Amino acid sequence: MKITLKVWRQKSKEAKGEFKTYQLDHVSQDMSFLEMFDVLNNDLVKKGEDPVAFDHDCREGICGMCSMYINGRPHGPLQTTTCQLHMRSFKDGQTITVEPWRAKAFPIIKDLVVDRSSFDRIQQAGGYISVNTGGVPDANEIAIPKKDADAAFDAAACIQCGACVAACKNSSAMLFVSAKISQYALLPQGQPERKTRAENMVAQMDAEGFGACSNTLACEAECPKGISVTNIARMNREYYVSKLSSDNV
């Protein structure tokens, strides 16, 4: 199949970016979206041009590295990761516009690569539990209701790709932060740091410059892991209760 690609090219963080158009006429519909970019980059290298920089790692939909805004939607037309998107989702002769995630807290490093270390700093602010070292405890020693375990696991499925931020008109990171807060708040292991976690992670999220939540639900619609906005409601509860009842003055 033939396609026309409009790709955002930007040499560095400070450089002014622009769209460049490329014609590809030997694309197989069985290619993944990233393989299509590999083909494009091969062509560019052969011509002595600078290949398009883009983030990728596992290409199995589990690492959260890939991050392309394709035809006006994070990760493209399907609710999946860019690496799991295939060219059969597009029509022969179609023009595909590819942009990087746009958010103040995700500055562009080059072309389609954005700096998502703000997510790491939020995670470091409280997305962990303290565990005593010693003998390995039995896996099922602590009884956890199945429903809670399932809900925690669903929240933990977040791969930190940032599609929620990309989809949000406010570049809000609340789906990501709420998933991380929920995953620990629902489990007994998360209780010791529960209140401090909610306060610190929200404070770091604000410090990074992410926006507020307008409840448009755009994040939930685009999340490749299907994280629910019920987590955002839970985060709100966790945060208000923590602020009003914790010892952190």
Partner 1 sequence: MNWFSNLLSSTLGRKLVMALTGLFLILFLAVHLAGNLQLLKNDEGQAFNIYAHFMTSNPLIKVISYVNYAFILLHIVWAIILTRRNRAARGPQGYAVSNNTSHWSSRNMGILGTFIALFLIIHLRGFWYEMHWGGIATANYDGVDYKNLYAVVDAAYSQWWYVTIYVVSMILLAFHLYHGFGSAFQTLGLNHVKYNPVIKFVGVAFAIIVPALFALIPIVMFLD
Site for partner 1, rule CB under 8 A: 6, 17, 19, 69, 71-73, 97, 99, 102-105, 169-172, 174, 202-203, 205-206, 209-218, 221-222, 229-230, 232-240, 243-244, 248-249
User: Which residue, 20 or 58, has its beta carbon nearer to partner 1?
Assistant: 20
Smallest distance, partner 1 to C-beta of residue 180, A = 15
Contact 82, 70 (CB under 8 A): yes
User: How many C-beta neighbours within 10 Å does residue 137 have?
Assistant: 10
User: Which residue, 47 or 78, has its beta carbon nearer to partner 1?
Assistant: 78
Smallest distance, partner 1 to C-beta of residue 239, A = 5
Q: Which of 195, 189, 188, 176 is nearest to 129 (CA)?
A: 189
How far apart CA 116 and CA 230 sit, in angstroms, is: 24
User: Which residue, 37 or 69, has its beta carbon nearer to partner 1?
Assistant: 69
Smallest distance, partner 1 to C-beta of residue 60, A = 26
Smallest distance, partner 1 to C-beta of residue 78, A = 13
User: Which residue, 26 or 146, has its beta carbon nearer to partner 1?
Assistant: 146
How far apart CA 214 and CA 209 sit, in angstroms, is: 16
Smallest distance, partner 1 to C-beta of residue 120, A = 18
Q: Which of 57, 61, 101 is nearest to 79 (CA)?
A: 61
User: Which residue, 86 or 195, has its beta carbon nearer to partner 1?
Assistant: 195
Q: Is 213 exposed, middle or buried (0-12, 13-18, 19+ CB in 10 A)?
A: buried
Torsion of CA 206, 168, 190, 198, to 10 degrees: 30
